[in-house]
Amino acid sequence: MGIIYLLILVSVALAIFFLVAFVWAIKSGQYEDDYTPSIRMLFDDEIKKENGEI
Amino acid sequence: MVYQIINENGLDNYYSIEDKPGIKPAEKNAKFNFLKNEELAGSLLEFQSEQTNNISLFLPQIHCSSCIWLLENLPKLHKGVTYAQVNFVSRNAYVSYNPKDISLYELSVLLDSIGYPPVFEKKKKAEKTINKSLLIKLGVTGFCFGNIMLLSFPEYLGLKDDVSEPVKQFMQVLIFVLSIPIITYTALDYLKSGLKSIRAGAFNIDVPISIGILTLYIKSTYDILALNNASYMDSFAGFIFFLLIGKWFQSKTYSSLSFERDYKSYFPIGVTKLKEGKEEIIGLDEIEIEDEISIKNEEIIPADALLLNDFAQIDYSFVTGESTPVSINKNDKIFAGGKLIGTAINIKVLSSVKQSYLTHLWNQDTFKKQESKYAQISNVLSKRFTIGVIVIAIISAVSWLFIDTTKIIDIVVSVLIVACPCALALAVPFTFGTVMRFYGKRKFYIKNIFVIERLSRITDIVFDKTGTITQTDKDSIEFTGDQLTSIELDCIGSLVKQSSHVLSKSIYHSITINNTLNVSSYKEEIGKGISGLIDGKHTLKIGSSDYLNIESTKEETAVHVSINNEYKGKFIFSNTYKVGIASLIHNLKKDAALHVLSGDNESERENLEELFAQKEQLNFNQQPLDKLTYIKNLQEQGKSVMMVGDGLNDAGALKQSDVGIVVTENTFNFTPSSDGIIEANSLIDLDKIIRSSKKSIVILAICYAFSICYNVVGLCFAVSGNLTPLIAAILMPLSSIFIVVLSTLLVSRSFQKHYPKKDKSSSNKN
């Protein structure tokens, strides 16, 4: 039965890890703009270079 | 495909910028002159050092994905810019630049030249942090709730006897530890608000909630620590979790819209002061009486002042709603809020910015809307609710006195626990929150959910005329008089083309011209009219009735024409009404009394009488203060007034009214502070908006009825002494989820039925 202590503690620790990750995500402003990054990733590197040469 | 278009657009834009000289001549960008003042510019920065300055710029023109591309490539356009990141949702760009290579002024000019003039406003940051902390609270509570539930599973499954005593004890202690962050951090707001409300002698919904929370928590702590029993902690955590979700759902805000603008948003941040012949840029607050200020074309007059030049044209449409510019002569008074049209002028300030006529109006005390006046339905209910619960608790305590005295405390506690109005507290945020989202999809944005309740009680609707029910800048122009030949039209067109007057421009655009003819000896008498010799043959005079020496008694905006000293007729300017406005008025009349307040003259009276099918309550020549008092009078008669307006001239009335709605062509334009912003095209849905707000009150009542049913069932368990942690854990979340689903479903159904979606593709991205 002793293993149950370890299992519970591991599961709580895991959950705490995700909670910390969530808080970090909020604090770093990831939820403030949920639209722009989806567009930004479409900007191709290649085209940027092409423009850079002009 | 889309990807290709983005890139093509982006490229096209990019080339067009490269063709242009990077920075336009400075005179054209006089509107950014105040940024040359280092102190003012510095106050706008977020971070300042020798090498790097950071600033968050509001660029209302951001509208498509190639805008993001273009702006984020700003470092390639100017080597001084080191970094640029766009937030599309709030129309902001975060820019870092090196102040040695580019100043804020140059940066603004650069942005303006590529089509994104930055708008400078002193912003408040409070709202964002509130939202952030709510999300964190939600996360923490969710974490605690989930884990407590997990640890309570043996209890749910009836495995009590299969778990050994030390393991059980360990789980209970862990549950208790997990509950600590909830009571000390996430639930604290409710307790504080409940306490505050009791101290103020009022009962808001937080009072019964606080009572429930505290009894739940104290009872559970006692069970765990003293008795080592199963506790109600899972119900407790779940309860707080649902409450926070409700709060989050109703806190939906339109981050790119502002409902709380004050007069300062309209005025430039800085002005050019003339001091001993030198120009100096000072902040708005530093303007003193007797200062001489230079105002450039399109700039707004910041304070009441005297004109020092011979002549100026001021567009007062902000202040009075009058769409035609007013001519001002030397030493005449100019009121703050007017916009200069034409060449630069010098003015002498008569009063400070705060004391000027317009700003004075804004700062009137009457505007401090007493929110308590609109006692929310839930507050009235919660008072009765709290009293009812206490009465039930006492009655059950007394009756158990005769059955089993040992159980009295248990019974009272379970009554208080189960009566916790979680479902009641969720009904408002979810019903109104859903309505708010539906409004948003139909381009009607409201400040907060409480506006809906006020909306449903509207008895009178007051319209501003200009820009609200008429099309802005689209006056219809009609010529009455002799039939004009095409040569005569050419003559008129060629002459008015020379003038920069607004009316001349409108005429030029309204007539068909085949040839542009040569104009000689052109003369413009400012404020009166223009004359000239066309093609060397025809002498033309175009202008006011005074200018042509004819008599005119009718109140109308007209421009008269004579050719070779022979009177030909006049162009009459009249308003065009928005499409669909007639049927809107027809529908609205069923629900509310309609009024019109217009800043313009009576020339439109006949048209309006026909449109509204009523002769009374149409008022003309209304000054901003008149509008305000008109609304106040209506309210004193016990009426609930909605004001629909657009400009600064309506600002007072909008604030005074119970629901102030601003109509705007572009939601990112400046709008005076209001309760709601509606896009001009959606105005014709106003009747549906009001009707659906009434529906939502009915839905709210249904939700209340259901949540009270749940409470009655729960109370039956409690009073009979059968409330176990298991039953509480089932009953309480179930009622919450039921209310959430019910309110959301009912609102969606009523919207789909009464307010069919017109345009599915243009979902809004706010």
Place B760 in a pLDDT band, splitting at 50, 70 and 90.
Answer: very low
Query: What letter would DSSP give residue B372?
Result: G
Nearest to B88 among A1, A31, A36 (CB): A36
Q: What is the mean pLDDT of chain B?
A: 77
CATH architecture, range B268-301+304-350: Distorted Sandwich (2.70)
What pLDDT was estimated at residue B585?
85
CB contact under 8 A, B164 and A18: no
Q: Does A18 contact B at CB distance below 8 Å?
A: yes
What pLDDT was estimated at residue B95?
86
CB contact under 8 A, B88 and A39: yes
| Phi, psi values for residue B757, rounded to 5° | -65, 135
Q: Please tell me the distance from the alpha carbon of residue B414 to that of residue B570, in angstroms, as a whole number.
A: 84
Start-to-end CA distance of chain B, whole Å, equals 25
Nearest to B139 among A1, A12, A19 (CB): A19
The domain defined by B476-574 folds into Calcium-transporting ATPase, cytoplasmic domain N (3.40.1110)
Q: Is the pLDDT at B171 greater than 90, yes or no? A: no
CB contact under 8 A, A5 and B170: yes
Q: Does A3 contact B at CB distance below 8 Å?
A: no
Amino acid at B125: K
Q: Please tell me the distance from the alpha carbon of residue B256 to that of residue B63, in angstroms, as a whole number.
A: 12
Amino acid at B183: I
CA max distance for chain B? 115
Q: Is the pLDDT at B226 greater than 80, yes or no? A: yes
Q: What average pLDDT does range B686-709 have in this prediction?
A: 87
Q: What average pLDDT does range B138-147 have in this prediction?
A: 93
What pLDDT was estimated at residue B266?
64
What pLDDT was estimated at residue A21?
94
What pLDDT was estimated at residue B107?
85
Nearest to B174 among A1, A8, A52 (CB): A8
> Residues of B with CB below 8 A from A42's CB?
3, 6, 65
Give the tokens for residue B397. 């305590």
Angle of CA points B6, B10, B16, to nearest 5°: 150
B344 or B177, higher pLDDT: B177
Q: Please tell me the distance from the alpha carbon of residue B609 to that of residue B619, in angstroms, as a whole number.
A: 11
CB contact under 8 A, A40 and B68: yes
B188 or B667, higher pLDDT: B188
What pLDDT was estimated at residue B148?
92
- Region of poorest pLDDT, from A35-39, B382-386, B473-477, B584-588: B473-477
Question: Which residues, listed in sequence order, are joined to residue B660 by a DSSP beta bridge?
Answer: B643
Q: Choose among B443, B329, B340: nearest CA to B678.
A: B443
> Residues of B with CB below 8 A from A39's CB?
6, 65, 68-69, 88
What pLDDT was estimated at residue B364?
55
Nearest CA in chain B to A17: B143
Q: Which residues of B touch A (CB under 8 A)?
A: 3, 6-7, 10-11, 14, 18, 65, 68-69, 72-73, 76, 85-90, 128, 132, 135-136, 139-140, 143, 146-147, 150-151, 164, 167, 170-171, 174, 178, 765
Place B26 in a pLDDT band, splitting at 50, 70 and 90.
Answer: very low
HEC sequence for B192-257: HHHHHHHHCCCCCCHHHHHHHHHHHHHHHHHHHHHHCCCCCHHHHHHHHHHHHHHHHHHCCCCCCC
| Concatenated DSSP letters of B728-744 | HHHHHHHHHHHHHHHHH
What pLDDT was estimated at residue B21?
40
Distance from CA of B390 to the nearest CA of A (A): 38
Place B255 in a pLDDT band, splitting at 50, 70 and 90.
Answer: low
Q: Is the pLDDT at B299 greater than 60, yes or no? A: yes
pLDDT digits (tens, 9 = 90+) for B425-436: 888 888 888 888
CA B461 to chain centroid: 19
CB contact under 8 A, B135 and A31: yes
CB-defined contacts A:B, below 8 A? 76
Residues above pLDDT 70, as percent of chain B? 82
Side-chain half-sphere CA neighbours of B612 within 13 A = 23
Among A30-44, B117-131, B400-414, B695-709, name the most confident range.
B695-709
CB contact under 8 A, A40 and B72: yes
Distance from CA of B361 to the nearest CA of A (A): 36
Distance from CA of A17 to the nearest CA of B (A): 10
What pLDDT was estimated at residue B34?
74
Q: What average pLDDT does range B116-127 have in this prediction?
A: 65
Q: Is the pLDDT at B508 greater than 60, yes or no? A: yes
Q: Is the pLDDT at B577 greater than 80, yes or no? A: no
What pLDDT was estimated at residue B264?
61
Give the tokens for residue B178. 């997990």
pLDDT digits (tens, 9 = 90+) for B591-636: 888 888 877 777 777 777 877 877 778 888 777 778 888 888 888 8
What pLDDT was estimated at residue B20?
41
CB contact under 8 A, B72 and A43: yes
Residue ranges per structural domain of chain B: 2-113, 268-301+304-350, 476-574
Q: Please tell me the distance from the alpha carbon of residue B227 to that of residue B244, in angstroms, as a whole number.
A: 31
Distance from CA of B177 to the nearest CA of A (A): 12
Instruction: Please report, for residues B575, B713, B718, B732, the alpha-carbon distance to residue B735 in angstroms, rounded to integers and kept in the order given.
Output: 55, 11, 16, 5
Give the tokens for residue B656. 């005074």
| Phi, psi values for residue B96, rounded to 5° | -110, 135
CB contact under 8 A, A18 and B171: no
- Write out the E strands in B20-80: 47-48, 53-58
Q: What average pLDDT does range B306-310 have in this prediction?
A: 83
- Region of poorest pLDDT, from B202-216, B330-344, B529-543: B330-344
Instruction: Return the CATH number of the domain spanning residue range B2-113.
Output: 3.30.70.100
- Region of poorest pLDDT, from B332-336, B558-562, B575-579: B575-579
Q: Does A20 contact B at CB distance below 8 Å?
A: no
Nearest to A33 among B3, B72, B89 (CB): B89
Q: What average pLDDT does range B692-706 have in this prediction?
A: 87
Q: What is residue B292's three-state secondary structure?
A: strand
CB contact under 8 A, A19 and B65: no
pLDDT digits (tens, 9 = 90+) for B356-378: 666 666 555 444 444 444 455 66
pLDDT digits (tens, 9 = 90+) for A1-53: 688 889 999 999 999 999 999 999 988 878 777 778 887 787 766 544 444 44
CB contact under 8 A, A54 and B89: no
